[in-house]
Chain A
């Protein structure tokens, strides 16, 4: 560590929170090491079709961020990487980072020959398991880093087809996991969230009924680069649904599942209703809810969608979802609190508004979870958490949180070199 420049800030997680913290710090003149466990940056937001309330594509903002990452020499990105140990103290941490091989070097040109010759398939995790990719895959069209990766677990024994096909000698099938030690002045953990496991909601039929999907899956269907090329279709028969039910608080606000509110699912379902109504003007939507939570300026967006006569709001919990095996249609039993009755209705597609679960894998031990399982913001003087691992929030609040947390890291970095201007 030189007298004038602090150690880099290490950021865990390359989703919107980590990416924001990274570019904000780097643009301020602090070096950053960004550690992402998957093969590309962007995290969960990269898989969204559009953001509410503007219905604008996340790629638009991500592209600006990637450009800043590309052009700022102060940012080092490590993908397929995880933090496995932290020692030291604020200003002078030593972080052990395990970097799994990509099996594709920086010489990759994106030509796609490896993918064309690859004989093996794997579930498409980017599309939440809807469809498959080849074992040699590009995470998605605007992926950063812009390079293929190979899922060796999916490779047939002894297959070298991609290595032989690559004209740029970019493929190294024998690459090994590396363990690196990175010096850091401060650590920002932005490990993000994952959707609540819908299979745990047995009464809502996910996994048993073919036409029950989750909100994150619907998001992929709506995307042009998604598994259905932007069309929202029933998994059982590929039909456009004419009636769609949304089940709010699927897991959230439920002591047996998630005791908290996931904060985004109401506005997300209203957004999904807007997607469907724009795609299929004849399709009618029903949203079963406990409270409609569209806080702040999201209210105006929510009100606009609810103003649509074909978007029906029913206050009440869904008790059961069952499939008619002959048609694939779904029988939804729910209470209607305002009408004071129980209702049973048929729908062609049911969407579960599953909640946000903090992703605590890879979280430094110093960041103790709260009673809901979210990370506390400040673990020790140099270790901070940011984004959805701290609380469920929409993109804007996550960006805000990440920017503020970046300042905490900056303070720590500056203090470590007694920064005086």
Chain B
């Protein structure tokens, strides 16, 4: 294929004053062999765009390179008819706005960026969507308040639902509450909904496949059955923290010490007989030895339960021993009303012990109270406000995935996700956790959460039906292809994919499941044989961009640094530095990557063997508070880099020539010093000895 290349240079926004556009046009013609090269003072305007459109219409051009502002701006303006490859070269934010105008080094930078942009354009093909028959049904796992709500909400939007519950009835923990809030009505609604098929006393034997085509084997009363679902909502709920571990609070040694769950059942049976009830908040929660998190719901539960105490005996007293009362938002009013009851007593304190006292009562010792002293209270009943433990991701989904059968979880047992910005995105595509399985929450919040997860499930099947990726590259049509003839079964790709998209055959050859793929390119980066590529993103493409960089001879004393940037955060940060007109060393050549995890180490070899003096990688923060949109990308890149550094020594190259820096998008002000310092270190190390080879 020989592309008819059109290069369009914009001289607006001071680009024309910064660089010599005529010289740049010469590079386009003589070196890049552009069929057409035009210059305009405002390419994004009507007149400028008409220039490009006319060349496309005339057929003199089929591949467009626009050298103007950052691709983050004016995407609509430079979006021509579908399928036309348009590559943007950032001469504004990355050249004109951050480097000395009319300077030899600035000009060299612009020329390199043009060569690199052309190289990229020539390796780009318009992606074609995946096509397959996709089921739009939703599987909901768990028949408690969250699962029931998710099922109804999805069904009401017009989607068929399979609801699976391990017990022989629906309703979960909500149905066991003394004053259950409308749960039976919801159960009835589910049972009668024409779009919902309910499986009780059923478990998932296994789930095979991928979004749009999950084949779910259910082990139910009548024997195993298989259903096909497009997406899954995991609403497996919670269990009370194991109170037997709270021996210091008297649980197990006296029947008069109960959990809040047990107290709820006592209330339902009318079995509360006590003149004085003491509630111990944070029983297990907010405790490094037990649950490090706050269970969020126990304060409100206790407030409701003090009413049960008075309902059973209007003269009975309720004591609440708390660390902090947590009644956020409008719940504060409930707290105030409950506090106002003359027989309710709230005090901040810590329960030191619960032991048998006089008259068959319990003696509760409380330290550090608001009264500033240790007090002993004699009570008839102690209620431990035990916390919520997520009903773990253990033998629930039984996915037949190479990376394991369940959702990957964080340290505290909740599913791994970007829980601040994108709380529903788990590390298994098309599978969304909801309710108390996802984070501690009460029934009200769980209902809303269920609707949110149902929304994501629906979105996932709709995107799959259009052959498009889900978040974070929602709508992306590209997908990886694997040239398996050259696969050496090293398994790096199947191990490293953060989303478990790749299975393996018996020999270890990857079996891609493209509907699970988030299109990050981490598999592409992992592969030593370079057999993974996208239509519009490949090892070869980036390699050709590196090759397009002109490396000056050693005696010119012009170092060259390659900067590989995460396109999601580091690249916009560099744009911001440009918008703020921050100046930095013009020796740096930037290439954006889909994710730093798509870094293939061959690029480093390519760069160093061409005489480039150093390679700096800039990506998202990793570790417990990772910011990588693909969860593991920058961390994987760091590991690969460490491996390369070991081999550098053998090539007589200093490991300092490689560096990975974690940078957040709002740390744009640190970019100039980062680049300047790195280039200066390269100057100190001296030129790459491979220059000129």
Contacts and interface: CB of A to CB of B under 8 A. Distances in A.
Contacts of A37: none
Contacts of B331: 260-261
Interface in A388-414: 391-393, 395-397, 399-408, 410-411, 414
Contacts of A370: 330
A402 B424 CA distance: 12
Contacts of B404: none
Contacts of A50: 666
B73 interface: yes
B333 A411 contact: no
Contacts of B455: 24, 28, 403-404, 406-407, 410
A419 B195 CA distance: 13
Contacts of A337: 348, 370
A372 to B, nearest CB: 5
Contact of B474 (A23, A391, A405): A23
Contact of A259 (B12, B153, B333, B439): B333
Contact of B292 (A263, A299, A372): A299
Nearest to B74: A109
Contacts of A230: 669
Interface stretch (B319-327, B516-524, B543-551, B645-653): B319-327
Interface in A100-158: 107, 109-111, 141-142, 146
B448 to A, nearest CB: 4
Contacts of B452: 400-404, 406-407
Interface string B308-343: 000000000000001011111111110010000000
B340 to A, nearest CB: 12
A411 B668 contact: no
Interface residues of A, number: 85
B324 A372 contact: no
B420 A64 contact: no
A403 B150 CA distance: 12
Contact of B286 (A28, A299, A421): A299
B372 interface: yes
Contacts of B423: 396, 399-400
A339 interface: yes
Contacts, number: 248
Contacts of B33: none
Interface residues on B, range: 35 or more
B451 A261 contact: no
Nearest to A410: B157
Interface of B: 12-14, 41-42, 44-45, 69, 72-76, 136, 153-154, 156-159, 285-286, 292-296, 322, 324-333, 336, 348, 368, 370-372, 412, 414, 418-424, 439-441, 445, 448-456, 458-459, 462-463, 466, 470-472, 474-475, 568-569, 572, 576, 579-580, 620-621, 625, 627, 629, 664-669
30 contacts: A27-B471, A28-B459, A56-B420, A56-B621, A59-B665, A59-B666, A60-B569, A60-B620, A60-B627, A63-B665, A70-B76, A109-B13, A111-B12, A141-B668, A142-B665, A168-B42, A259-B336, A260-B333, A261-B332, A295-B328, A300-B292, A303-B286, A338-B370, A374-B330, A400-B449, A403-B456, A407-B154, A408-B451, A421-B136, A421-B159
Going nearest first, the 4 A-B pairs with the smallest beta carbon separation are A404-B451, A61-B421, A403-B452, A263-B328
Interface of A: 23-24, 27-29, 49-51, 53-57, 59-61, 63-64, 68, 70-72, 107, 109-111, 141-142, 146, 167-168, 223-225, 229-230, 253, 259-263, 291-300, 303, 315, 337-340, 370-372, 374, 391-393, 395-397, 399-408, 410-411, 414-415, 419-421
